[in-house]
Copies of this chain bind each other. A is one copy, B any other.
Amino acid sequence: MSHNKGAYEELRALRRRAGTLGSVGSLLNWDQETYMPPAAAGHRAEQSALLAGLVHERLTDPRVGELLAACEADAAIRADAAASANVREMRRDYDRETRLPKDLVEEIARVGSQSQEAWKEARAKDDFPMFAPWLGKMVGLMRRKAECLGVPRGGESYDALMDEYEPGATAKMIEGVFTPLRARLSTFIGEAAGKGRQPDVAPLGVKIDPARQHEFGLQVLGTMGFDLGAGRLDVTTHPFCSGMAPGDTRLTTRYRDEKFTDALYGTMHEAGHGLYEQGLPKGEYFGEPLGEAVSLGMHESQSRLWENFVGRSREFWAWALPRTRGTLGLKGSVEDYFRATNTAMPTFIRVEADEATYNLHVMLRFELERGLIGGTLAVNDVPGEWNKAVETYLGLRVPDNRRGCLQDVHWSFGLFGYFPTYTLGNLYAAQLWEAYTAKEPGFASAIERGEWLGLRDWLRATVHVHGRRFPAAELCKRATGKELSADPLMRHLERKLRPILGI
């Protein structure tokens, strides 16, 4: 490389340093959700705001701009595929970040931290009015953020926010994907409700000590190839994964006395995210785009692959049941558990929804949050509109806000434009699964033998190691040979669920 190798290395060092600060902010968040005493909430908001401001300062350091310009002008860097992708993505980050004033970044972190606490309490007490002012503040901050970022020509504020999570995606594109998918899913679910017979979920109603559920969860993590020497599993109100630092990827789940599969699939879900984080080349590229996940849609595909395509398979239960008879006290057969975990039955809680109905939960959230950001939906109307949408999409009457608009943590700390990535994740997951199982037709029986690492290693090689080197759409095409499509998901659902439902 030319003399600008110096500029590139300096740029990398600045990003790594900002990443190190950012990883401290992640620890603050993780701690707030796991072990922080309640009385510390006020100060935690200050800590988070301070850290967010410091990270922002570093990412927008004018020196970064100078170095970027130098790297972009450098032919040797342009000729180096990895370096040029790294620089391209750093440019994207720098341009986004410099549009945001520091006080706004700090305020979002501060209010997000406070608002999350308010959400926890409001959810526990089923008290939407307690949460409403915080939601209002957060929507206001997000609209201001969108304005700072700049609304793309012909687009809407929502696009500016979503671009953070799924680069290049717009509300219109999402609508274009969701509308036909919704029609196909509704037809299928309608058929299931009309002619189908929902499987018996009684085998899931076993009361199991959380400590034993936890033990089993750790066993599943080990089988997935999640490295517990470089990660953890803890308990929270709302499960998440934080790939906070090199060698430090933390998962959380929540245990219920009944329906142990909620925690089980929650754990597998977060561990799917965790494997992506552990598979990113953070040793070489921590804090840099090449060491970061390409998009949240792709991130979600990793979690859904393990949760649904592995976890809700007949072969999974054939592996799991003999291992847990003694410890979990499960009574039914492999077929019973396979069927019980594969319904097509509308329910209230998104994270506990079955594969057939899950995406409808996402779609209604997308509509509501698009309205909140666009100014066509007022905060106080959220419960009413939520409940109406649940009736339209799922045919259910929401009994309380805990099981309605208070169920998800996301909006409390400003994740608007994030929900659609969940459905994109399902689509990516199905397509990746088709590609992998076409290549490895014996994987189903490998699942039964507990030999799951083939999938992890293939995902690592095709997705994880690339970081943000290729845009998500291109990464998908490289991994699967095709553009993203909803067909693999629909094929998967039809193939698996029709026999179970008898339709």
Q: Which residues of A contact B (CB under 8 A)?
A: 17, 20-21, 23-24, 27-28, 31, 35-44, 46-47, 50-51, 54, 227-232, 234, 245-250, 286
- Flag if B47 contacts A20 (CB, 8 Å): yes
- Flag if A43 contacts B232 (CB, 8 Å): no
Q: How far is the CA of A230 from the CA of B37 in the complex (A)?
A: 5
Contacting residue for A41 out of B54, B227, B247, CB 8 A: B247
New A-B pairs, 9, CB < 8 Å, besides A20-B50, A39-B230 = A21-B50, A27-B28, A35-B234, A37-B229, A37-B230, A37-B247, A38-B230, A38-B247, A44-B245
Q: Which of A28, A54, A248 has the most CB of B within 10 A?
A: A248
User: With contacts A47-B245, A54-B54 known, is A227 near B39, CB below 8 A?
Assistant: yes
- Flag if B24 contacts A229 (CB, 8 Å): no
5 residue pairs, one from A and one from B, having the closest CB atoms: A39-B247, A40-B248, A39-B230, A40-B247, A43-B245
Set of chain B residues within 8 Å of A20, measured between Cβ atoms? 43, 46-47, 50
- Flag if A42 contacts B246 (CB, 8 Å): yes
Tell me the nearest residue of chain B to A278, going by C-beta. Answer: B39
Set of chain B residues within 8 Å of A43, measured between Cβ atoms? 20, 23, 245-248, 286
Set of chain B residues within 8 Å of A21, measured between Cβ atoms? 50
Q: How far is the CA of A111 from the CA of B46 in the complex (A)?
A: 28
Q: How far apart are A79's CB and chain B's nearest CB, in angstroms?
A: 32
Q: How far apart are A439's CB and chain B's nearest CB, in angstroms?
A: 31
- Flag if B246 contacts A37 (CB, 8 Å): no
Q: How far is the CA of A341 from the CA of B34 in the complex (A)?
A: 36
- Flag if B247 contacts A35 (CB, 8 Å): no
18 contacts between A and B (CB under 8 A): A20-B43, A20-B47, A20-B50, A23-B47, A24-B24, A24-B28, A24-B47, A27-B28, A27-B31, A31-B31, A35-B35, A37-B228, A37-B229, A39-B230, A39-B246, A40-B248, A41-B247, A43-B245
Q: How far is the CA of A20 from the CA of B17 in the complex (A)?
A: 20
Set of chain B residues within 8 Å of A40, measured between Cβ atoms? 230, 245-248
User: With contacts A31-B31, A43-B245 known, is A51 near B37, CB below 8 A?
Assistant: no
Set of chain B residues within 8 Å of A231, measured between Cβ atoms? 37
Q: How far is the CA of A230 from the CA of B38 in the complex (A)?
A: 6
Contacting residue for A51 out of B24, B46, B246, CB 8 A: B24
Tell me the nearest residue of chain B to A282, going by C-beta. Answer: B43
Set of chain B residues within 8 Å of A227, measured between Cβ atoms? 39
Set of chain B residues within 8 Å of A228, measured between Cβ atoms? 37
Set of chain B residues within 8 Å of A23, measured between Cβ atoms? 43, 47
Set of chain B residues within 8 Å of A31, measured between Cβ atoms? 27, 31
Q: How far apart are A5's CB and chain B's nearest CB, in angstroms?
A: 23
Q: How far is the CA of A24 from the CA of B23 in the complex (A)?
A: 12
Q: Which of A51, A227, A245 has the most CB of B within 10 A?
A: A245
Tell me the nearest residue of chain B to A41, going by C-beta. Answer: B247
